[in-house]
Copies of this chain bind each other. A is one copy, B any other.
Amino acid sequence: MIITMIALLKDNIQRTIGLPIPAGNCTSFSDLLFEKTFDKKDILVEEGQNCKHIYFITEGSCYSYITDDKGDTHAIQFALEGYWISDLYSFFSGKKSIYTVEALEPTKALVLNKESFQKACDTMPIFDKYFRVLIQNAFVALQYRLAKTNSEDAEHRYSEFSKLHPDFVQRIPQYLIASYLGIKPQSLSRIRKELANKK
């Protein structure tokens, strides 16, 4: 089982950095990573705890959210198969998590702890590069998302989101997509109705 999961990760590495993985690097993964299974609603990262792992989703889906003073939650990131998810703030800084990561479906993930992450970066230059590119891409995408949040209305943001992530729209409940877009479920419902009428 874990073999096919690692194959998915390797495939992801190759496509991300655009280079085949040298043969020598292949074996070491199974020593550094372990496999974990979650039920729907299981918590992968808990707010207030130190987050010591990052998760590569191989089956199912998860999302991260922040909880505000009123107790309301706000979706930050979704992760389907082939995505990494965690609280990188806590993971990198060693401070308490400010986000929660929760499974949306029965989920399988490859888990990498801090030490293994460090070791993977130190011993496999390809992995080091892979992770750097991932963060760079994530930063660039996030900056763009924020730019759009500040410059476009909810209808445009949803249109762009559903064009960019049709798979998310299919699998993720609408009230979470609303939260991700910074609006209420009622508003998204009306927006969808509006868009359906236009066509």
Q: Which residues of A contact B (CB under 8 A)?
A: 66, 68, 72, 74, 76-77, 88-89, 92-93, 98-99, 132, 135-136, 138-140, 142-147, 149-152, 179, 182
Contacts and interface: CB of A to CB of B under 8 A. Distances in A.
A45 to B, nearest CB: 14
Nearest to A141: B89
A136 B131 CA distance: 11
Nearest to A132: B132
8 contacts: A74-B151, A76-B143, A76-B146, A88-B143, A89-B140, A92-B140, A132-B132, A135-B139
A88 to B, nearest CB: 6
A142 B146 CA distance: 8
Could you tell me the dominant secondary structure of chain A's interface residues?
helix
A38 B149 CA distance: 31
A142 B149 CA distance: 13
A155 B29 CA distance: 48
B88 A151 contact: no
Given A139-B88, A152-B68, A144 B98 contact: yes
Contacts of A147: 66, 74, 76, 99
Contacts of A146: 76, 142, 145-146, 149
A66 B148 CA distance: 9
Contact of A89 (B98, B132, B144, B149): B144
Given A138-B139, A142-B142, A143-B142, A150 B89 contact: no
Which 7 pairs show the lowest CB-CB distances between chains A and B? A150-B182, A139-B139, A89-B140, A68-B151, A74-B151, A66-B147, A142-B142
A137 to B, nearest CB: 8
A89 B139 CA distance: 9
Given A66-B147, A132-B135, A150-B179, 13 more contacts: A66-B151, A68-B151, A68-B152, A74-B147, A74-B150, A88-B139, A92-B136, A93-B140, A98-B144, A135-B135, A139-B139, A139-B142, A142-B143
